[in-house]
Structure 1
């Protein structure tokens, strides 16, 4: 019992004597400036604003390659960096300015090639990974693929 009382007494004494300094006196002004700059930098975000998020090739002939371009503007307040692009299948190939900083207010272009495979109504997606708030953006292409030699295969109807 004496040991427990002695230990509790020492803990209480340590607690009461260790807090004599004011916490506000320990603040370093240079650390505050660095923290403010870091917080300001974290508010700067790149934003991809596209002229269109979907492109319809219309009715196309099976096996006829198609291509379109999606134009975007960095409407954010930080440089935009696209880190990668991917398509929902191998028949669609995106081409983007990967790892090339795009300054706020500048435009860029993502070309998307579709090899015309499939049949009937097809929809493909392209995912762009970038330093935006969402981390990724999605584009979509679609077409009605008619068999070669079909009377419905009249070529692209919407560009």
Structure 2
């Protein structure tokens, strides 16, 4: 009888481990590219899913700098559901390259995850027509060519700026399946800078065609094609 009770007690921790939450982020590092010091705060959402078998609870989030502010849902997230950790960075008085660490503490396995927000804060005045020669309504871009190399993973950042007096939002991005494309932020205020971030997935290299492109559409009714080149 004692042996049976002891065996059951040994089994309980094993069962409880199998019923834990498990947090899985789509990406744990995000590069914001160039950020204008006087352009205001910039924000990114780190998306995650609870892939465990118990509700996920984010207990608290620690940042290594007062310039970085996290925001998250404080309610338990059921198994299979998703959520976001929103991180806002204030570039004021912080020129140069930055890499901010955000530590997420949870009841999951593993119990804490490190996120990173990276980029570079620029302070010098910008010659807009020269730096952003591609005009799409009140948006301007540094280039409209996406350059890929089939033998390597490619990471390209295309900078953009809103030269108008009203907010402009990116409504949709059409892309081939061998690319990951993010725009941050999705809404740009007056004279606000942003970044179109392109990641190339080499496993789809055989699918690249000469006339492939990325198409963006804004709430101003403008669209633009970014042609893809593998030369």
Q: Same fold (TM over 0.5)?
A: yes
Deviations 1:11-67 (A, max 9, x none): xxxxxxxxxxxxxx44676x8667645541232221111111111111111142100
Provide the TM-score with structure 2 as the length reference: 0.51
Higher strand share: 2
2:42 alignment partner, one of 59, 66, 91: 66
Aligned residues: 133
2:102 alignment partner, one of 112, 126, 138: 126
Cross-structure match for 1:22: none
Cross-structure match for 1:144: 120
1:86 alignment partner, one of 30, 43, 62: 62
Cross-structure match for 2:21: 46
Cross-structure match for 2:85: 110
Partner Cα separation in structure 1 for residue 45 and residue 124 of structure 2: 25
Cross-structure match for 1:56: 31
**Contact 1:85 1:127 (8 Å CA) reproduced:** yes
Partner Cα separation in structure 1 for residue 3 and residue 44 of structure 2: 57
Check 1:74–1:147 CA distance in 2 against 1; reply closer, same or farther (3 A cut): same
2:71 alignment partner, one of 95, 106, 109: 95
Partner Cα separation in structure 2 for residue 158 and residue 115 of structure 1: 19
**Contact 1:59 1:146 (8 Å CA) reproduced:** yes
Higher helix share: 1
Question: Which secondary structure state, in structure 2, belongs to the residue aligned with residue 90 of structure 1?
Answer: coil
1:157 alignment partner, one of 183, 189, 195: 195
**Contact 2:61 2:70 (8 Å CA) reproduced:** yes
Provide the TM-score with structure 1 as the length reference: 0.72
Give the root-mean-square deviation of aligned CA atoms.
Answer: 2.4
Structure whose alpha-carbon radius of gyration is higher: 1
